[in-house]
Structure 1
Amino acid sequence: MSESHLIFDRRLLRLRRERAAATQHRVRPVLEAVAERLLDRLDDTTHQFGRALEIGGRGLVAPALRARGIASVVSMDLSSRQAAGAGGSPVAGDEEWLPFAKGSFDLVLANFSLHWVNDLPGALAQIRHAMAPDGLFLATLPALGTLQPLREAMTGAESSLRGGASPRVSPFPELRDGAALLQRAGFALPVADAEDIALAYRDPLALLRDLQAAGEGSALLARDVRIPPRALFPAALAALPEGPEGTPVTLRLLTLTGWSPGPDQPRPARRGSANVRLADALGTREQGTGEPPGRGPAPVREAGPS
């Protein structure tokens, strides 16, 4: 990818994840909630897996996979400290340059890490390449709508203080793009869905502290590296909405599900192979081109005893 198309500072991200290995316990309940939703998707299939790769698990995914009887679990993270503490065979690696051979895994889970990738379609294609036929891929990442009030408050406060604003909250993918991204990467049976995790902070400053503790501070290349005005954060936090339990924060969680193509997966029927007319199935009359529309036969109802 050319330098002009880069969005994130991956070196800065690695350093932040290194530091977060010692502080992310402060936000463990939120991280656990995300990981549980990812792992729950394994209950939707009876497929048996033997070789798993988990990316960005933060010590919450690999132990759960081993508890499910998966013998081989590799834990990869951009941070060597995160990988070492993740619970699987540790690999310090980059999601943008996967160090695995074709067909290495029959299960890949990416836990809240792919939102920092510069080339998400390319990363998904590499993941599929590393998967054996009929393997399952699951990923969670924040979707558009996450931290939206904070984004608006920071932009408004900085515009008032400086006459302009730099981006301080990462861009997030939209739900409608999820399945298309999977399909573009070559996954079969792609599914994307989203759900909201509602949080509340009595002190809005604690939100910024939690983001820092999790290593989720801004790593945008376009960020303003100057020291921010002293009034910026107080003004932005004061502009956040208030609810009965404090400052509401929404984590909109996008979950991606896809299968690497395999010989036993269901496929669309061959065009022209149907042996039942659609008009018959719908209880209507087939109509030729240019023919005025008709109502067709009334639907048949079975009469019961009167």
Structure 2
Amino acid sequence: MAEPRRLIDRRALWLRRLRAGAGGGPDFLRARIAEDAEDRLAVTLRPFPVALDLASSGDEVIRLLRRRNPSGAAFRATPEPASSASFICDDEALPLRSESLDLIVSSLALQFADDLPGLLAQARRALRPDGLFLAALLGGDSLSELRQSFAAAEAEMEGGASPRVLPFADVRALGGLLQRAGFALPVTDVDRVVARYDNPLDLIAELRAWGATNVLAERRRTPLRRATLTRALEIYADRFADGDGRVRATFEIVWLSGWAPDPGQQQPLRPGSARVRLADALGVKESPAS
């Protein structure tokens, strides 16, 4: 049986994340996500005695989990060695027992999953009843400026474009994947962040420091031509610069949350079971559709 075609070069991803972890690098996006995750968990009254950081970029999430529940257990699953890792594994083949966790949190990792539906199903099985899954990943509009600039430059200079940026998932599709994985009360929402840089090269350097440069399996393996890179930077600066000359970069952070089903959870009402008319609740006069 033929092995399924992979979107991500796992070895390239592992090496780039390893270099990024050793070299530090910018953390404003990771810090923002960790702060937002803490706010989201703060409104949940349920305790989470056993929590897992699922392959998050950086140490912000594991520190949050340990700070939030110092008397509980917080582990980290990561594909590369790290000082705070509890176990090393492929984030698409998780060695987790069924119903062994109360909370799973993931930051800026799931966009690299070749089999996201399978990964969500594994997470769902690992959660105890009424356990929470919370993840932030990059969505469809992320780095749209960079994609447009490189596509235009390669079409002009080389007669065709090479895949350079991940095909990020659409938020509506992600909501459907949560339901297919068996999560109850699935919710998706989007936080759109626009960062500004002195020039496009600063953005590329930041992506490299994150370990987030091109890891597509079908990427072009020959070095990028200097003339093409120069033209891409010119297009970026021409199309996406503000009045002060600084350039914009969009990051669309998609939040996913869902609960392992439990009989004590709130359940949606049956259609037609409402006892109050919508028009009365809104204080408006109801008119026939005709």
Evaluate the alpha carbon distance shift between residue 112 and residue 2 of structure 1 in structure 2; reply closer, same or farther with a 3 A threshold.
farther
Q: In the alignment, is residue 221 of structure 1 matched against residue 217 of structure 2?
A: yes
Q: Any unmatched runs of 5+ in structure 2?
A: 281-285
2:141 is matched with which residue? 145
Is residue 59–residue 85 contact of structure 1 (8 Å, CA) maintained in 2?
A: no
187-196 or 32-41: bigger deviation: 32-41
Determine the structure 2 residue equivalent to 1:288: none
Alignment match, 1:200: 196
Q: Which residue does 2:66 correspond to in 1?
A: 66
Residues 55, 91 of structure 2: 8 Å contact kept: no
Partner residue of 2:230? 234
Matched, 1:76 2:77: yes
Cα distance in 1, alignment partners of residues 103 and 37 from structure 2: 13
Q: Which of the residues 109, 113, 118 maps onto 2:109?
A: 113
- The alpha-carbon deviation at position 6 of structure 1 amounts to 1.6
Distance 1:244 1:55 in 2: 41
Relative to structure 1, is the Cα distance of residues 199 and 2 closer, same or farther in structure 2, using a 3 angstrom cutoff? farther
Deviation (angstroms), 1:5: 3.5
- For residue 158 of structure 1, what is the aligned residue in structure 2? 154
Indicate if the aligned counterparts of 1:204 and 1:237 stay in contact, CA closer than 8 A: yes
Counterpart of 2:51 in structure 1 is 52
* Deviations 1:168-203, CA, capped at 9 Å, x for gaps: 011101111221111111100000000111210002
What residue is the counterpart of 1:175 in the other structure? Answer: 171
Q: Deviations over 1:206-265 (max 9, x none)?
A: 111111111001111111101221112111111111113501111111000100111211
Q: In structure 1, what is the Cα distance between the partners aligned to 2:184 and 2:73?
A: 24
Alpha-carbon distance between aligned partners in 2 of 1:295 and 1:33, rounded to the nearest angstrom:
46
Name the CA distance, whole Å, in 2 between partners of 1:267 and 1:275.
14
8 Å CA contact retained: 2:108, 2:138: yes
Number of aligned residue pairs: give it: 277
Bigger shift: 160-169 or 138-147? Answer: 160-169
Q: Is the 8 A contact 2:129 2:260 kept in 1?
A: yes
Write the mapping of 1:123-134 to structure 2, written as runs, cut at 5 A.
123-134=119-130
Kindly state the Cα deviation for residue 281 of structure 1 after the two structures are TM-superposed: 6.4
1:103-160 deviations in Å (ceiling 9; x for gaps)? 1110000111000000111100001111111000100001111100100111111122
Letter in structure 1 aligned against 2:235: A
Once residues 146 and 29 of structure 1 are traced to their aligned partners in structure 2, the CA distance between those partners, rounded to angstroms, is 15
1:289 maps to which residue?
none
Asked if structure 2 preserves the Cα contact closer than 8 Å seen for 1:128 and 1:260, the reply is yes
Give 1:270 deviation, angstroms.
Answer: 5.0
The percentage of counterpart residues that share the same residue type is 36
Aligned to 1:26: 25
Number of the residue aligned with 1:249: 249
CA contact (8 A) 1:56 1:77 kept: yes
Secondary structure of the structure 1 residue equivalent to 2:165: coil
The structure whose Rg is larger is: 1
Q: Take 1:93 and 1:295, find their aligned partners in 2: how far apart are those partners?
A: 60
Distance 2:39 2:278 in 1: 37
The question of whether the paired residues in 2 share the 8 Å contact of 1:75 and 1:91 is answered with yes
Structure 1 residues 46 and 226, CA, compared in 2 at 3 Å: closer, same or farther? same
Q: Is contact 1:19–1:215 with CA below 8 Å preserved after alignment?
A: yes
Distance 1:77 1:51 in 2: 17
For residue 61 of structure 1, give the secondary structure of its aligned residue in structure 2: helix
Structure 2: which amino acid aligns with 1:156? A
1:188 matched to 2:188? The reply is: no
